[in-house]
Amino acid sequence: MADSGDVSYPNTGSIQDFVTKGPIVDNVKSEVSKTSGELQELKNSRVTPSTTTNNGQPLTHYHSLLYSLLSWEQPRATAVSYASIIGFIFAARYLPLLRWAFKFLYMSLGVTAAVEIAGHVILKKGIASSFRPRRYYTIPKETHEAVLEDLSQLLDFFLIEFQRILFAENVVHTVAAFTAAFLGYWLIRFVPVWGLTVIGVTTAYFGPLVYISNREIIDEQIQNIQDIVNAQTNQLKDLAGERTSHATGLMKQYVGDYSHKAQEYIGRRSVSPEMTKAPTPVKTEPTPEPTIKTEDFPEAPNLEPVAQVVESVESAPQAAEREPLLAV
């Protein structure tokens, strides 16, 4: 039997074993390893996709990269990139990063200059200059070309996507961009730029995640909206076609009536073509002059004409009646 005064403690190992081993450390190492693998897979996804735009133009490798990043195919890599962007935004907002950069610059240059001057004064030899490399570091030409090519691909990505949204290659994307621009126009009055940037980045990262998690419901609602819009569009087309055909018929009728009236009016004012023709001359044969004989004339009267007394007798009383009465 052990002495009651002896106390035994479980062997927990050293502090180094506690820090480097254990379930928590193993879990952290596993997550770090998985995150590194997903980041490498995300980097390897920068390949030019086989799909093209509607007009047959090829896409850039940034289309594959952004699709893989925002579709949460590698969730750890996507979460790390989101946290990095948000952390940089808050650091730029609340930390004097520019002042710290200038402070680090002037302190490092000051220390270098002080050490160099002290070496020349004390040791008669420069200390900082002794660390000078034989050749200054330069960027290789291949790196220049790779960076410029990558930058060109990035600019092409933004330009192609802007044109695809502008010319409504996908109506849903165009409507989403319109909504974002409209909300940004109103929010910029109340929200600072850094806050608007945080909202935009959060929407860009978690919007696709919400869509992927509720794909069936969202697709069904989008299809219903498209059906309603198509039905209304077809109805408006039919109504517009009916109105157009009715207006065209009325226009033809009015044009026919006015044409008929104009032809009648012109017909009244103009001469018929048969009347305007010059009459053809008729040839007449000369006739012989007739011979005048005495028997053709009547005989002259032998008696003198007798005046008619009746008319004079009848005219006398009438003259008497018309004669005015004169006072004696």
pLDDT in tens, 58-76: 999 999 999 889 988 889 9
Backbone CA torsion sign across 88, 94, 98, 100: negative
Mean pLDDT of 289-295: 62
pLDDT at 301: 64
* Residue 3 counted as domain residue: no
Domain count, the chain: 1
Q: What are the residues whose beta carbons fall under 8 Å from the beta carbon of 199, sequence distance 6 or more?
A: 187, 191
Q: Is the pTM of this model over 0.85?
A: no
Question: Per-residue pLDDT averaged across 269-275, rounded?
Answer: 54
How many whole angstroms separate alpha carbon 225 and alpha carbon 203? 22
Residue type, 233: T
Question: Six-digit token pair at 24?
Answer: 């928590």
On whether the CB atoms of residues 165 and 53 are closer than 8 A, the answer is no
Backbone angles phi, psi at 65, to 5 degrees: -65, -50
Name which of 67, 83, 86 is nearest 35 in CA terms. 83
- Would residue 108 count as lying in a domain? no
Give the range of the structural domain holding residue 25, as residue numbers without chain letter: 15-95+133-213
**Inside any domain, residue 239:** no
Angle between helices 61-70 and 141-166 (to 10 degrees): 70
Name the DSSP letter for residue 291: P
Q: How far does the chain reach from its first CA to its final CA, in angstroms? A: 208
Question: DSSP state, 51?
Answer: -
**Structure letter (DSSP) for residue 14:** -
Q: How far apart are CA 77 and CA 42, in angstroms?
A: 7
| Domain assignment present for 122 | no
Instruction: Report yes or no on 84 lying in a domain.
Output: yes
pLDDT band, residue 148 (cuts 50/70/90): very high
Closest to 175 measured CA to CA, from 185, 165, 164: 165
Domain for residue 323, yes or no?
Answer: no
pLDDT above 70: percentage of residues in the chain:
75
Interatomic CA distance for residues 85 and 78, integer angstroms = 11
Alpha helix stretches (DSSP H) within the chain: 15-20, 23-44, 61-70, 75-94, 97-118, 141-166, 171-187, 193-213, 215-269, 309-322
Report yes or no on 28 lying in a domain. yes
With vertex at residue 68, the alpha carbon angle to CA 64 and CA 72, rounded to the nearest 5 degrees, is: 165
What is the per-residue pLDDT for 87?
95
* 161 in a structural domain: yes
Mean of the per-residue pLDDT values for the chain?
Answer: 80
